Structure 1
Amino acid sequence: MNFLKSGVLALAIFSLIGCNNEQSLQEYYIDSKENDAFISLDVPTSLLAPASEKLSADQQKVVNSVKKINLLAYSLKDTGFYNTETTKLKDILKNDDYDELMKVGNSGQRMRIFIKGDEDAIDEVVLFAQDENKGFLVARVLGEDMNVADMVRFAETMDTSSATLNTGGFEGIMDVFK
């Protein structure tokens, strides 16, 4: 019986030691949605893409690979809060198996694109845009087995559908960068 108690105690200790206290991007989104300082929006792809009868078979395949888009923005009101939150996001993106695909910008305005998954089987694309005078935006594109070429085609599909897209829900998010 003593051996059983020791085994359970050892398992509990190893479980506590092995716990990862680092916040994931998903956890950051959930925590931030509850904070009034942020603007957040979850967008199903059905709202972004035009009616399926207007899409080619290839475009339908691409749209179907994207499940939803999460948007989170902070409009700069407090520089200290901005710096704290951007540091948190940078740490999450560095430590959470994201691969940086692209980085553009200058010291005041930056945009970085990250992917999670294999190049031909991407599960998540993250766009992190910062403007030291306006705030930041994090966009997560979630899907299954997406690839870089599909993402380019998805953006093109959205661009061709702009006439049918209702952008009213995006106004608060886009105000961050006005």
Structure 2
Amino acid sequence: MKRYIYLGLFTALLFAGCEQKPTLQKYFVTNSENKEFISLDLSPTFINVDKVTLTSEEKEALQAFEKINILAFKSDSLNQNRFNEERDKVNAILKDQTYQQLMKVGSGKESGAIYFVGQDEHIDEFVLYANKKENGFAVVRIIGDDMNPTDVLNLMRLMQKANIDMEQLKPLQALIQP
């Protein structure tokens, strides 16, 4: 009988100890199948580097990079309340101390910010968040292992000179176009 009581207490503590706070990962999973959202998962292969000579810094950045997750909500005149609700959810998640703000631009109708998760030279995730009331918002998660801010800059430079598979990015055109 004591064994069952201890097992019950252990199970209760286990479930009570599980953190139930919202995270971007949970937000992405919850909304990735929602028709109001555009969801993309990109692997490093979307950056075609076959015909590009890579510097050692670019090779290092590419090796640290694992994937990109994109979740976007397209706003229009009919869904402004829903847009505000979803934007507020993302803003609340990003206020958690897990997400450290690196930079913020704009305010009001248009804004953007860059966050990171991890330590300065051991970053596991960069988050790019852009918001424009007329178009919607997008959250981009750049996931890697032991990245640093320079890796992301090198990755962005590499994307400019490499052959990007634009077909994978086609669903985002609806968000970008007015």
- CA shift digits 1:99-129 (9 cap, x unpaired): 1111101210010111001110110000111
State the partner residue of 1:168: 167
- CA shift digits 1:41-99 (9 cap, x unpaired): 11111212422752123311111111111111111131111111111112222236111
Q: Please tell me the root mean square deviation across aligned C-alpha atoms, in Å.
A: 1.8
- CA shift digits 1:146-165 (9 cap, x unpaired): 0011111111111122xx22
Higher mean C-alpha displacement, 133-142 vs 21-30: 21-30
State the alpha-carbon separation in 2 of the partners of residues 96 and 66 from structure 1. Answer: 23
Is the CA contact 1:112–1:127 (under 8 Å) kept in the aligned structure 2?
yes
Alpha-carbon offset, residue 25 of structure 1: 1.2
TM-score by length of 2: 0.89
State the partner residue of 1:148: 149
Describe the SS at the equivalent of 1:95. Answer: coil
Describe the SS at the equivalent of 2:164. Answer: coil
Give 1:16's aligned amino acid: F
TM-score by length of 1: 0.89
Unaligned runs of 5+ in 1: none
Aligned residues: 175
Identity %: 28
Is the CA contact 1:113–1:128 (under 8 Å) kept in the aligned structure 2?
yes
Is the CA contact 1:52–1:60 (under 8 Å) kept in the aligned structure 2?
no
Question: How do residues 23-172 of structure 1 correspond to structure 2 at under 5 angstroms?
Answer: 23-51=22-50, 54-77=53-76, 78-95=79-96, 97-161=98-162, 164-172=163-171
State the alpha-carbon separation in 1 of the partners of residues 174 and 150 from structure 2. Answer: 30
Unaligned runs of 5+ in 2: none
Is 1:19 the counterpart of 2:24? The answer is: no
